[in-house]
Structure 1
């Protein structure tokens, strides 16, 4: 019998328990902390830009080329793309749950490399971005100037150069992304009448810039090999890329035979601006740059959040005057509170089990045995969680809470049986009583453990996203049960042989408790006997319970995970199609006033020109991140996030009729959808037009809104955005010897934008 070894050598059992406990304690500090297990599938994103291109051009010239090559990449579940009128293209490839994101990235990069030669030169010049994306936003950072002394461009560029790169290096950070463009750009505003008068074309300007604004090596003087002896060697420098507005203005476009020079300033206005003006942010009614920090898969959100905040506090010491930062949308706050609440429940459950054990055993000595075994079993579970790649989350902690009532049984079995032998045999020693106990209960302990494993292990093998949730829950319980059995066979008999004593008299309170409990047991036995004589009544009652269970499963709302108040809300704004960004900014100012008037909202960050639901820049779109006050400051039901969302929606409907404003909670599980709720994708498999697809989607949304189970069904897909069509007379262009490429480049430069090359600042 293995237990006899530990009864004879209790220190050996304690060493094993210490190893298990220390392993668990160390693992607790290394385990990632999150709200839920990582169930979001890995994703790889491909981004391309073509300044001035429409959504249709991006779809046909860029999207179809890339998607034809990427489609079918190994491990891919599905892919979705988005082409926008701002010349951006985004392709998201989703892989299976559990797939290695690094290998998925490599496979996508290899496929995209094959498509690059077929892409337009302008797209290749801008470069393709291929990277893993983490859907788990840690928080957003608002950079703003409270006194208005710094403009948005300076703030954005400062954040890009001095803040973004440092935050990306923080352990646990996947990426730091700025919503608004932060790059300086030397913008050339062409004067078409003056260009016509001087006979200058956009191609002439492009050629002059590419010729004169270049970085070129000049070589060295005195570099070997050479004849004779030289005492010095000099590196030569040239004036390469231009740095100032004046230097660009003086670029020579043409020189006549008489020596007359046409410079860039003669046909264009040169200014230092930003790369584009599609998205603008605001915080506390001041222009702001919004930066989103994403969490690396498997990272500890709380530790990473503290590290980022510490880095920000350190960088703030060197901020220019008038610049401040505020952490806005913060997911770590809810994770910290939820994990703290579950941990409190776990400790309360442990204390309650120990208290109940003491009440039923009536002595502190037998209570000590399960009190020692419970922490060893629970803490040791964390070591296996670390090895298994799990996280500390609400699911695993709930599994530990449930396991408390299971792990205590084995230790109690050892204690009670030993106590029985001590009272029944007055001549037996404590060590012999424990030995006899283990001879009797070792088999049942192993058997009950195997039965519990047979119940929970199959649950750990469920596939899919739901299976990941059940997997961690089941593994947590199984490991705790196995460790409980190990403790029951090693630690519990060793401790019992040291602390248990034969008690001659029982405390008065314990005798009173036993008397009352015996009365309850007697009445229960009488009730069971009464029911056994009326089996038909029991059958009817059982059938009624089954009927209630069936009704409950149909009546009670069902869902994957509950929608909870996470202390934040997201906001999406959509104006009529083709609305300008100026109109969007005016709407966002009205919404700022509405949000400021709500007592439950702590702060709000707004983005004009960006749609959360579309995931792209849109002149008629807006977004907002609303941070609610702490839960302790919102005790009333009228101030929970759902009620606040409905209240803000009503206020926006009444006060901002020119826009569709929707507030909604974040997704229940990070990475599973854009917002909380249900997301459907309608796919056209018959090659119909965009207009027909839009009509089908609107019909589906209208039908869904008729259901009493759905609050609001909507779509951001639009196929009837007003546009102008330019009909070029190609025959006449050829008759006049005007190349079509010149017409296209002129349109792009005059009405859109075109990238030429870089400059130094």
Structure 2
């Protein structure tokens, strides 16, 4: 027998001392990998986004686009690796975002943008400051969020500034933990010395704001002025001293009026105040009475370094925080862990590892029941070894331990054990033959027998999975652990099956008999059930066609479930998270107080749900962003009209509802909330996969801004009409009101006022100007000195217009005039924001889906129907595009983006991967069987899997997702694997010849192996005509796998026990003896019954002569030299004119094939 690769490996390792060392090494490497693999909840997807922020003072949006945005887009688009360029242009400011290809290094992306922008600094227009470049990546997402807040008893004594001071010190301590990355504070405020000028008092004393700012700045200056020599020493001279207290600032002399000195305290109120007062951050918890209790809060967000273990970093950070309680963190301040991705990652990993172990135990139990306990013991070793080797490979390939990579192991555990089971069963079958071979030799022969088909079958599964590595877009790296880990598991399973499994079989077998499922028993109960179903179908052409048509009908019917929407399509199923968020967008121009009030109302509604533990509200500042916020740029939500509400839920083991149902409930409750007109409330769930800008995103392109906005408004109306579409919003909104201040050039000339002085006065009067810092000493942080009017008094009324500005009323006379003498004011509206995508102007309509359908496809179809029902008189109806920006912008176009784009790219690439997989499988099968038609038969069952897959989705009300598609592709490989093994077995199995007149029962009839006579040595006969015992059990044995099909030789393992025949003992299989018996009968010249075998007769003429030549006295009509002789079991004489009950074509002993009868 040719051993092949599998046989040679088995022969080399079955008795080698290296095998147990290999086993121990595999266990050790796998366990080390399991302990050292970084654990994360989701696969880390590198999607670098670099924001370029440009200030364009005084420019309206349409002017800034031409002067700043378009040139900057052109620069960024030429950077290597940039996939998309987005821009948002508003009055006075521009933001251009470069989104790089998935997998690009974040550091490399930022450096490329920096280099490109710096190389084009000469193109910056006059009056435009240098751009600010901010890079964000997946490693900037915080894995731990710590919210500091006072206890209810200390809430009146602990200020936000106190919390911020403790948070800053805590941040410095946490940064000392190894592998801690970016850290930042949310809701931070601080102490400041605020100088609040009073316009009336300024006018009374004739003091300008420029004088006030200049005096404080100059008085707060300290600098070295040189060196002096004194007493033989060289001493440095430092001039000036920084201001320490509000009193120091208030006592600064500004000028004199009527001989009386005028101090800063005479024209302004100077006091300690809170810096960053234009934001609100608080945490809301349940009080003792169950009612919400609000206290101020500051959140410390902690990210990790790239490649580090989220579980380890989170544990070390929390341990450091616990050690600081009571010392750095005072007793009156609580620290709540509002985000711990390390804990959730560890919980997810442990849960999946538990399911992995449960699946392993299930397979071991199944093998125990189906084959035997010794075989189950071998499987109990093989599966963990294969899994641990796969984890080692995952560690080498740079993957982490997350829910997707563990899903790959659970997904592959059912197929990685196939190789071992095939080898185990075949070894047990060979041992049960009892043909005199040693168990070691029989095991090597058994592995070699199934080696080639097992290799091809394993490669077909790998060929089905591996092309999924090349899925593009954000889903590519997200799903890459599945094909990579599953393919590695399959390859390792083969080597473990042919190296470790035979060695273990020898070790566990001992001297006890090993039982195999003999074909004589037709596969047990399952075999009998299969035979009962298959026999009627195969025996009748009508039944065969009926069965085939029924299968086709079921396949078509299962596919129709998509059309009827009984099975829906979705990118990924929802996950059960422990956090939710509500985004609050008030109309442009809303105050931060109004935003905070809306956030508190949302918190009150959220606490009506028992699953909510605590809520953090943010107004005028952004909450710590997650991966979803990274893509949606939520970290830029630092405007007064924007607010975030973060909901922390109970652990999923302590609540009855998943987070998605809680989100649906929250959305329905918020629908009844009274909010200011134009307010948008969006419930945001952490996505189960790669995030997008919005689940349903419509980009409207067109010839001009008015047409685009008009079409977008109609599209938004259509979207709102769909009942299962929620959280609808648009990108243009309502422009905010503005107050335009114009400067009269005539008045400037008349009063000899400089225009710069007017602008500086307006800037200080309406804004905030930091003029320096008050250094505290003693290791304390410096606090800023800010000139700013109180927020409640920031109005441009008659009092403010009395603010003096410098003027030369008469030549040589430096005086002042009132601000109102040189300016005029009028109300206007701001420009609409201008969005651009890859250089094309676009308006956007965003929405989410909730209810009956939660995939964008169904929302898109419903919106299309709603658009068709609208009256488009006077406005061109938009064309709908599913992929790719329009080339012709002369007509409106609606391009669907968002989750649909990810879905489209994912299923498109997975379909292409499936096609490549089929081609690879076809090539492998052609190489194995040497036929171009047989592989088509093997591939035929693949479409039939839809019956089970879609039927299961319909039965369990589950959407067909990308993971379902992965299962379908993998199942194709599994089906082909099984088909290869079955076809190979059929091709090498003996021809079954049912006995004439034998009863048809569940037991298969005896089969005869009829190899060419010249291949069988002729043993001597005893005097009674019976074959003597063969001292060499291997002589004359025909290997079924080595028989040439063209010669008609077919091996057979089947045996029949006959206790009444002493020459055929029950423990001895009949098949190995038949070739020698047939040759003996031929040499003896018996024309009828063979010696020693009753009722065994030649059919169709005499047996071949002793030289192996066919008899010339064959069947009537047979030409001379032809060989028509056949063998069959008959209970007695053949009935006259008896018809062969076996319709299958037979192979004659001389190798000629006969047709079907």
> Which of the five TM-score ranges fits, normalised by the shorter chain?
0.7 to 0.9
**Alignment root-mean-square deviation, CA:** 3.6
User: Which of 600, 624, 629 is residue 589 of structure 1 equivalent to?
Assistant: 600
In structure 2, relative to structure 1, the CA distance for the partners of 1:646 and 1:445 (3 Å cut) is closer
User: Which of 20, 36, 39 is residue 14 of structure 1 equivalent to?
Assistant: 20
User: Which of 358, 371, 392 is residue 348 of structure 1 equivalent to?
Assistant: 358
Asked whether the equivalents of residues 572 and 689 of structure 2 are also in contact (C-alpha less than 8 Å), the reply is no
In structure 2, relative to structure 1, the CA distance for the partners of 1:505 and 1:332 (3 Å cut) is closer
Q: Does 1:526 align with 2:527?
A: no
Separation of aligned partners in 1, 2:51 and 2:505: 60
Q: What secondary structure, in the 3-state scheme, does the structure 2 residue paired with 1:726 have? A: strand
In structure 2, relative to structure 1, the CA distance for the partners of 1:132 and 1:643 (3 Å cut) is closer
Q: What secondary structure, in the 3-state scheme, does the structure 2 residue paired with 1:496 have? A: helix
1:72-83 alignment to 2 at 5 Å?
72-81=78-87
Give 1:358's aligned residue: 368
Give 2:652's aligned residue: 631
1:707, distance to aligned residue in structure 2 (A): 3.2
Q: TM-score, normalised by structure 1?
A: 0.87
User: Which of 737, 740, 745 is residue 752 of structure 2 equivalent to?
Assistant: 737
Q: What secondary structure, in the 3-state scheme, does the structure 1 residue paired with 2:582 have? A: strand
Q: TM-score, normalised by structure 2?
A: 0.59
1:746, distance to aligned residue in structure 2 (A): 1.2
In structure 2, relative to structure 1, the CA distance for the partners of 1:667 and 1:40 (3 Å cut) is farther
Asked whether the equivalents of residues 159 and 296 of structure 2 are also in contact (C-alpha less than 8 Å), the reply is yes
User: Which of 345, 353, 377 is residue 368 of structure 1 equivalent to?
Assistant: 377
1:155-304 alignment to 2 at 5 Å?
155-159=163-167, 161-221=168-228, 232=233, 234-254=235-255, 261-284=261-284, 285-304=294-313
User: Which of 157, 162, 165 is residue 154 of structure 1 equivalent to?
Assistant: 162
Give 1:389's aligned residue: 398
Give 1:678's aligned residue: 695
1:479, distance to aligned residue in structure 2 (A): 0.6
Q: What secondary structure, in the 3-state scheme, does the structure 1 residue paired with 2:447 have? A: helix
Separation of aligned partners in 2, 1:343 and 1:419: 32
Separation of aligned partners in 1, 2:272 and 2:752: 36
* Stretch moving more, 171-180 or 90-99: 171-180
1:419, distance to aligned residue in structure 2 (A): 1.8
User: Which of 476, 480, 483 is residue 467 of structure 1 equivalent to?
Assistant: 476
Give 1:107's aligned residue: 112
Q: Does 1:98 align with 2:141?
A: no
Separation of aligned partners in 2, 1:88 and 1:386: 46
Q: Does 1:312 align with 2:321?
A: yes
Give 1:649's aligned residue: 667
User: Which of 131, 137, 143 is residue 138 of structure 1 equivalent to?
Assistant: 143
In structure 2, relative to structure 1, the CA distance for the partners of 1:652 and 1:444 (3 Å cut) is closer
Separation of aligned partners in 2, 1:492 and 1:71: 57
Give 1:227's aligned residue: none
* Stretch moving more, 397-406 or 56-65: 56-65
Give 2:658's aligned residue: 640
Q: Does 1:746 align with 2:746?
A: no
Q: Does 1:558 align with 2:569?
A: yes
Separation of aligned partners in 1, 2:764 and 2:324: 40
1:670, distance to aligned residue in structure 2 (A): 6.7
In structure 2, relative to structure 1, the CA distance for the partners of 1:499 and 1:390 (3 Å cut) is same
Q: Deviations over 1:63-89 (max 9, x none)?
A: 77865654533222224456789x987
Q: What secondary structure, in the 3-state scheme, does the structure 2 residue paired with 1:441 have? A: helix
Separation of aligned partners in 2, 1:356 and 1:194: 92
User: Which of 685, 688, 691 is residue 666 of structure 1 equivalent to?
Assistant: 685
Q: What secondary structure, in the 3-state scheme, does the structure 1 residue paired with 2:640 have? A: strand
* Stretch moving more, 442-451 or 624-633: 442-451
Separation of aligned partners in 1, 2:164 and 2:732: 30
1:403, distance to aligned residue in structure 2 (A): 1.8
1:722, distance to aligned residue in structure 2 (A): 2.3
* Stretch moving more, 188-197 or 76-85: 76-85
Q: Deviations over 1:393-447 (max 9, x none)?
A: 2222121112222221222222222222222125332222223223323333333
Asked whether the equivalents of residues 649 and 661 of structure 1 are also in contact (C-alpha less than 8 Å), the reply is no
Separation of aligned partners in 1, 2:60 and 2:192: 22
Q: What secondary structure, in the 3-state scheme, does the structure 1 residue paired with 2:401 have? A: coil
Separation of aligned partners in 1, 2:95 and 2:242: 32
Give 2:959's aligned residue: none
1:263, distance to aligned residue in structure 2 (A): 3.4
Asked whether the equivalents of residues 369 and 492 of structure 1 are also in contact (C-alpha less than 8 Å), the reply is yes
Instruction: Kindly indicate which of the two structures has a greater share of residues assigned to helix.
Output: 1
Q: Unpaired segments of 5 or more residues in structure 2?
A: 1-7, 285-293, 624-631, 776-781, 783-1157
Aligned pairs, number = 737
Asked whether the equivalents of residues 250 and 263 of structure 1 are also in contact (C-alpha less than 8 Å), the reply is yes
Asked whether the equivalents of residues 51 and 755 of structure 1 are also in contact (C-alpha less than 8 Å), the reply is no
1:98, distance to aligned residue in structure 2 (A): 0.9
Give 2:336's aligned residue: 326
1:438-517 alignment to 2 at 5 Å?
438-504=447-513
Separation of aligned partners in 2, 1:755 and 1:49: 19
Q: Unpaired segments of 5 or more residues in structure 1?
A: 224-229
Q: What secondary structure, in the 3-state scheme, does the structure 1 residue paired with 2:641 have? A: strand
Give 1:572's aligned residue: 583
Q: Deviations over 1:603-625 (max 9, x none)?
A: 11111234677642232332110
1:54, distance to aligned residue in structure 2 (A): 10
User: Which of 8, 12, 18 is residue 5 of structure 1 equivalent to?
Assistant: 12
In structure 2, relative to structure 1, the CA distance for the partners of 1:112 and 1:245 (3 Å cut) is farther
* Stretch moving more, 614-623 or 525-534: 614-623
In structure 2, relative to structure 1, the CA distance for the partners of 1:667 and 1:629 (3 Å cut) is closer
Separation of aligned partners in 2, 1:443 and 1:516: 24
Q: What secondary structure, in the 3-state scheme, does the structure 2 residue paired with 1:8 have? A: coil
Q: Deviations over 1:178-209 (max 9, x none)?
A: 23243443332222233233333333333334
Separation of aligned partners in 1, 2:507 and 2:276: 77
Q: What secondary structure, in the 3-state scheme, does the structure 2 residue paired with 1:150 have? A: coil
Asked whether the equivalents of residues 40 and 345 of structure 2 are also in contact (C-alpha less than 8 Å), the reply is yes
Q: Deviations over 1:235-285 (max 9, x none)?
A: 5444443332222223444479x9865433332222333442222111130
Give 1:34's aligned residue: 40
Q: What secondary structure, in the 3-state scheme, does the structure 2 residue paired with 1:464 have? A: coil
Q: What secondary structure, in the 3-state scheme, does the structure 1 residue paired with 2:738 have? A: coil
Separation of aligned partners in 2, 1:96 and 1:270: 53
1:561, distance to aligned residue in structure 2 (A): 1.4
Asked whether the equivalents of residues 562 and 668 of structure 1 are also in contact (C-alpha less than 8 Å), the reply is no
Give 1:43's aligned residue: 49
Separation of aligned partners in 1, 2:476 and 2:331: 52
